[in-house]
Amino acid sequence: MQYLGLALLVGLLALVCGVVALRVLLGGNWLLGWLRGTLGLLILAVSAVVGLIAWDVTSYQVLPSDKPLATLSFQRQGPQQFRVTLQEHGEERLYEMRGDLWQLDVRVLQFKGLAAILGFQTAYRLEALAGRYLALEQQNNSLPSHTPLASSLYGIDFWRWLRESERDLMMFKPEAGRVTFLPMADGALFAVRQSATGLLVEPLNQAAEQALQDWQ
């Protein structure tokens, strides 16, 4: 809920910018029309971008402390083909994967400074699920098995902008988490949790435990 509140706050800022832009565009006289129009369109563009950033923030969830981020179960559909059931916050999504191993990428957005003082907690978003083959030759000759789990509207990606620009605005700390490649096995059920050292994978049934033992 707090991220919905943050999104509403940023969305309100976008609305205010839009109102200011319209007042600039509609007010004044013809002699200042061009300058007013340019300034108004610029403010309107900024308000649109800020609004899209607010929408992007709503795709993140509070990082749970006592529950897994996600659970993944695997059902073999054929040789090196699996159906993956990913469960997050009670919602299930089905994916088809090829290969022997699976990998999960997660985005983490930490808050600091004023945001931390206001009580905003660390947020996350599942980014992508990928599969690969153990045999290097087979991997090189196969189609990539990479499934995006989330996307940003019109390419306005706030987390990526923070990472690539190396700016934190004195409020944010974007981090990337990854579950390194682990074996897929028929009937295996795994839970992905956040620990002090990063993402942790926990086997939830015998098939998953056996798969990890064989992998090690």
What CA–CA distance (Å, rounded) separates 159 from 102?
24
Q: What share of the chain is helix, strand, coil (3-state, %, to 5)?
A: 40, 35, 25
CA 114 → CA 36, 107, 117, 123, 163, distances in Å?
35, 21, 5, 16, 20
pLDDT in tens, 19-29: 776 676 666 56
Q: pTM of the prediction?
A: 0.78
Report the DSSP beta bridge partners of residue 84. 74, 95
pLDDT, tens digit (0-9, with 9 covering 90-100), for 97-139: 999 999 999 999 888 887 778 888 888 999 999 999 999 888 8
